[in-house]
Structure 1
Amino acid sequence: MDHFVQSYSIPAAPSPKRRTPAREWLGRNLLTNPLQAAGTLIGLYLAFHLVWTIIDFTVLDAVWSGADRTACSAADVGLGACWPFVKEKFGQFMYGSRECLKHTRLSLG
């Protein structure tokens, strides 16, 4: 049985680059070439714009108080969601024009 012992020492190698799994995935899937990088940036812009538009409509420009839809018709009110109207018509949104007796069956189903 032959044994081999190295007669010289091996120089130390530099440390590998530290990359997180998220950064690796990003570089491998979304930023591999300039066209994909541009598509990623455009997609992020569109997603941000869509989310901001939804938040603006449903929360920031919305009418929160009032008895019915007439509270949303005021001239000084923004063009956001009309939550008093949604509250008033919630049953119709959920159940449509069905009879009140069938609401329980629909809720349990």
Structure 2
Amino acid sequence: FLSFLIVLLLAGRAHAETATCAGGDLLASLAKSDPTAFKKVEAEAAAVPNGKGLLWKLEKPGERPSFLFGTMHITDQRVTTLPAAAQKAYDGADTVIIETTDALDKAKMMAAMAAE
């Protein structure tokens, strides 16, 4: 099962250039429709501690560290082209676990891979 997840992760990297999200940019829409509300949202977001973090190191005395890397979207180059710190953690990992509901649904996974 772990080998399957690793293959799935690496397959996602090969297809990172194809964007499939057709959604709109809600922040851009808000900036145009209500600049005051947009500034408030931006200020609140900036005040969130570690709000832009993608790579998290989980530590406990006497235990080897674990790493949690952001949210995995196959087409998001911020996670498919790993930053140096994330690549180092990935390369040194004994186990890699990813969270995706598509990996649990073989038909969805095969359809997504065939679409690429």
User: Normalization by structure 1: what TM-score?
Assistant: 0.28
Q: Which has the larger radius of gyration?
A: 1
Higher percent of residues as strand = 2
The two structures have a TM-score, normalised by structure 2, of 0.27
**Richer in helix (by share):** 1
